Amino acid sequence: MLSSSSRRDFLKTSAALAAVAAATDAGGAEGERQQEFYELRVYKTTDAAKKAKVDGYLESALVPALGRMGLDRIGVFTNMDEPDDHSIYVLIPYPRLDRFSALNPTLLADSEYQAAAKEHFAVPQDDPVFTRIQSWFYKAFAGIPTIEMPEQTAHKQPRVFELRTYESHTEEKAALKVDMFNSGEMQVMRDTQLGPVFFGEALIGDDLPHLRYMLSAADRDAHAAHWKAFGEHPEWNRLKAMPKYADTVSKITNIFLVPTAYSQI
């Protein structure tokens, strides 16, 4: 349980963040950025041939259609460590909830998309190209309200990404971990070149409550060096010693990803 003083601090922080969110949803003050929403999809396929077919559909049909809807910074990634994992990870940012709700009707009405996806939709029921699509929906943190693009992406350089998931055993602990990131942990990551890309609080999906975020680097060695600097940073060590942030995370999982040739991140 939180002490009375810790609970008061947490509620004050939460109220302040809620006020910021309300202001940005209403247009906000000049210079403020509205928090995005993210859909993370995982297309599960059983072998390399079927993965290639889904990859072709994403590159030629879905990603261009999302662009015609005004959606950009679409990330498409694959697992760099597990050769038997034929999944494809797709990150789609939405500036507002209504853009997400309009997705499927807009795709159905897009003749270019329908033509490009014709072969994808024609697969027989007894031989599908993917087994299922897993999906989670997130709201961006106030401290990183929109995707921060890696420097390597702009220069089309090699890059790697770490996708991390933090589960919590109660909703309150999950909210406190979000607060911890917004209150300094995320800035330490920036300062130590961990390259935050996005942070999202899970609204819909499996394994709630949880948050998920992505880091970037030129390669695995650079990423490891950045993590070392983070672990030694005095501000991180101050934050993690604060009693109100104790036991905020019950489980951490991670995966390393590489972008496809057509990924926009």
- CATH classification of the domain holding 198: 3.30.70.100
Give the span between the Cα atoms of 177 and 246, in whole angstroms. Answer: 9
Asked whether residue 206 is domain-assigned, the answer is yes
pLDDT, position 3: 53
Asked whether residue 28 is domain-assigned, the answer is no
57-75 confidence digits (pLDDT tens): 999 999 999 999 999 999 9
Residue 35: closest CA among 198, 233, 152, 178? 198
Asked whether residue 135 is domain-assigned, the answer is yes
Average pLDDT, whole number, for the chain?
91
Asked whether residue 21 is domain-assigned, the answer is no
pLDDT, position 16: 44
pLDDT, position 32: 60
**Residue 21: pLDDT over 70:** no
Asked whether residue 167 is domain-assigned, the answer is yes
Asked whether residue 176 is domain-assigned, the answer is yes
Domain count, the chain: 1
Asked whether residue 218 is domain-assigned, the answer is yes
For the entire predicted model, the pTM comes to 0.86
Cis ω on the peptide bond leading into residue 209 (within 30° of 0)?
A: yes
Domain of residue 54 covers 33-259
Give the span between the Cα atoms of 100 and 45, in whole angstroms. Answer: 25
DSSP three-state, residue 53: helix
**Residue 23: pLDDT over 50:** no
**Residue 33: pLDDT over 80:** no
Distances (CA, A) of 38 to 74, 117, 135: 10, 23, 10
154-206 confidence digits (pLDDT tens): 888 999 999 999 999 999 999 999 999 999 999 999 999 999 999 999 999 99
List, in order, residues 6 or more apart from 167 with CB less than 8 Å away: 207, 209, 210, 249, 250, 251, 252, 253
Asked whether residue 20 is domain-assigned, the answer is no
